[in-house]
A = this chain, B = another copy of it.
Amino acid sequence: MRLPDAADILEAHERINHLIHRTPVLTSRQLNKITDCRLFFKCENFQKVGAFKFRGASNAVLSLSQEQKRKGVVTHSSGNHAAALALAASMNGIKSFIVMPETAPGVKKNAVKDYGAEITFCKPTLKAREETCRIIMDREGATLIHPYDNFDVICGQGTASLELLQEVPALDIVVAPIGGGGLMSGTSTLIKGINKKIKVIGAEPRNADDAFRSFKSGILTPSVNPLTIADGLLTSLSELTFAIIRKNVDDIFTVSEESIIQSMRLVWERMKIIIEPSSATVLASVIENPDFFRNKNTGLILSGGNVDLGRLPF
C-alpha cells in the first residue's frame, strides 16, 4: 500500500488548479480574542459544491484513463462527495452514478440532481451503499471513486492545506475534521511533507470517535451507528486513511455536540459566513483545549457550508 507524499499533492494541485476555486483564508479579530490565539480559516465552504470534496473528486476524475472516462464513475456518499463527483464528472463530460442514503439532507440531494448525476437511493447503512454501488459497477463498468479510501481523492483534498500554507507559512498548528479521514490524510501528508514542525491535529465528534479510538489503541476500530450533528463525519477510517493518519497526525481531539453547535453559531454570528456542523468541529477543538492553542498561529480547515436551513440547531 503506497502512501501519498507531498509531491503527489503538488501534482494534484497542478492537475485541478483550473477547475477549483482558490478559496480565501479569513481571519476574525473577535474570534482571536475569544480563543486567545491567532486563527486562519481556510474557507472550503466557498469551494465549488460548497465543500473541499470537489478537490478530491476533480483529481480522481482527471486521473482516469480514457477508457475509464468513457464508462463513467460511481460512488456512494452522504452528500458533499456525491455533489462534488457529479460536478467534476459533468465538467469533464463524464457520466456519474451516485448512490445516496434516503436520509441525506434535501439540499444535498437537490445539488446532486442539479449537477446531472443519475441518483440511486438506498438504506442509510454502509452495507446497503456498497451493495448498490457494486450493482451499478457491474452493470455500467463504471469506476468506483470512493469518498476517501482512494489515493487520488486523498491527494486532491490535500491541496486545501497547500494553499493555506502558501498564504500563511508561519503556522504552528493545523486542524482539520476527521470523518473517513480523506481530508485529514491529505492535510497531514502535505503539512508534514513541507514542514515537520507544524503540529497536525484532527477534530472529531465525541459521538463518532472511531479515529480517536483507533489512533490511541493502534487498532482500526470503526464506529457503530454513530449519531452526531456533524453529518459529514459519520463515516469511519479505512486501512489507507488510518495508515496515513497514524504516520502524520500528532493528536486527535474529540469535541461535544454542544461545542460543535456553539462553534458553528460563533462563526455564523461573528464571521457572517455559513459553515456546516462538520466544519465547526475545528473551532470546537480550539475552544475545548485553550491551553494547547493559546497564542499559536492556528490554521483551521472549514470543510464545507452545506446546511439544511430548514433544520437548524438554533
Listed in ascending order, the chain A residues whose CB lies under 8 Å from chain B are 45-46, 50, 107, 265, 268-269, 272-275, 305, 309-310, 312, 314
Contacts and interface: CB of A to CB of B under 8 A. Distances in A.
- Total copies of this chain within the assembly: 2
A46 B309 CA distance: 21
Contacts of A312: 309, 312
A269 B272 CA distance: 13
B273 A272 contact: yes
B314 A265 contact: no
Contacts of A309: 265, 268-269, 312, 314
B46 A272 contact: yes
Contacts of A310: 314
A268 B272 contact: no
Contacts of A45: 272
Nearest to A308: B269
Given A107-B269, A268-B309, A309-B312, 17 more contacts: A45-B272, A46-B272, A50-B272, A265-B309, A268-B274, A269-B274, A269-B309, A272-B273, A272-B274, A272-B275, A272-B305, A273-B273, A273-B274, A274-B274, A309-B314, A310-B314, A312-B312
A308 to B, nearest CB: 9
A156 to B, nearest CB: 20
A52 to B, nearest CB: 13
A312 B107 CA distance: 18
A269 B312 CA distance: 13
Contacts of A46: 272
